[in-house]
Amino acid sequence: MKNVMVEEHGVSMVERLRPAIHPTYSRLLCAHLHGQGFTDADIFAGTRLEWQQLLSEHRYLSQEQLTRLIRRAVALTGQPWIGLHIANATSVSAHGALGYAVVSAADLRALHQVIARFASIRLQLTDLAFVEEGGEGRLIITERQPLGEAREFLYGALLGTYFQMIDAVLPQRGRDIRVSLPLPDAQWSPEYERLLGCAVQFGTTQFEIVIASHQLDKRCLTADPAMHRTAVRDCEHQRKQLEQGGPFSQQVGLVLLDQPGAFPSLETMASEFAMSPRTLIRKLKAEGTSYQLLLDEVRRELACWLLMETADPVERIAEQLGYQDTSNFSRTFRRWFGITPLAMRRSRS
């Protein structure tokens, strides 16, 4: 039997469902679709997401959740480059402390160092490194795990965000930045050069943004040392928080995600965090959620994953999610999604 914890490309189910993307980017995508005249019903059909869910300020989305939203957005618009389009029109301030740390940097060298150092507080699916060699500065982007259907959207979003940041601090940046993209050349590829205003090479082995070293000495017109110190301090705080598992509700969700089929009671979970059940309830309430809501959310995501990505019978899936009675699982599933588990499984074909 296929190991349900591992995908064909070696990405575990837990990794695909682990929160990793700041909710701002899903909100921007939905706002763009709203601006194109699409309704919530249009946007969220088949995504198993809701607008109110995306408005939560505490909860990061998983790769799996964002992928469903991207798939729907591309189907509605017919624009595989939609990530680039949205990011190219998004204010730097939308990126929070990271955006402020960037625009207040002293020069382009410091700007690139900030991006490489703190990009993970917004997107934890990629690693960024900045190196200088051979008279060039290279911002290198690598995937922590295969991005699958989310790749072009996220690559485009990273590119659009980068150029918006450069333009915010140096309006006359010129056209001497080069981009290498490990994406196949497609009929819409010219959109990248049109929107970015620089050369873009497709079909490469590595995602790189290259700038001449002499350009890195250019002063940022928006440099502000005091703001920069404050913004960098905020970025450091956010990075440390994420290294510890993120907001408290997200930490609890991660524990639940790592224990399918043996979900701990509220009392056991409180003990896991060395606090009383009352304190756990209070801390979750302060973040607008509850233990039962988090447990239901994890079960929902796991149920859909196992139904759509494995051939396990419904009885086995119910057991893995802690339901001893399959009929009880089916009733709960129908309450969640309005259809039966078997109906959802048939929909994948």
Question: pLDDT by residue (tens digit) across 84-117?
Answer: 999 999 999 999 999 999 999 999 999 999 999 9
Indicate the pLDDT class of residue 137, thresholds 50, 70 and 90: very high
Q: Who's near 322: CB < 8 A, 6+ residues apart?
A: 261, 262, 263, 299
Q: Who's near 219: CB < 8 A, 6+ residues apart?
A: 106, 107
Instruction: Please tell me the pTM assigned to this model.
Output: 0.86
Length of the chain, in residues: 349
Instruction: Give the model's pLDDT for residue 135.
Output: 93
Q: Are 208 and 155 in contact (CB under 8 A)?
A: no
- Residue 67, both tokens: 């992928």
CA 39 vs CA 50, 82, 85, 330: distances in Å: 12, 18, 20, 29
**What are the tens digits of pLDDT across the range 149-184?**
999 999 999 999 999 999 999 877 656 899 999 999
Q: Cα angle at 236 between 235 and 239, to 5 degrees?
A: 85
Domains and CATH numbers, the chain: 13-242 (3.90.1520.10), 247-347 (1.10.10.60)
Indicate the pLDDT class of residue 57, thresholds 50, 70 and 90: low
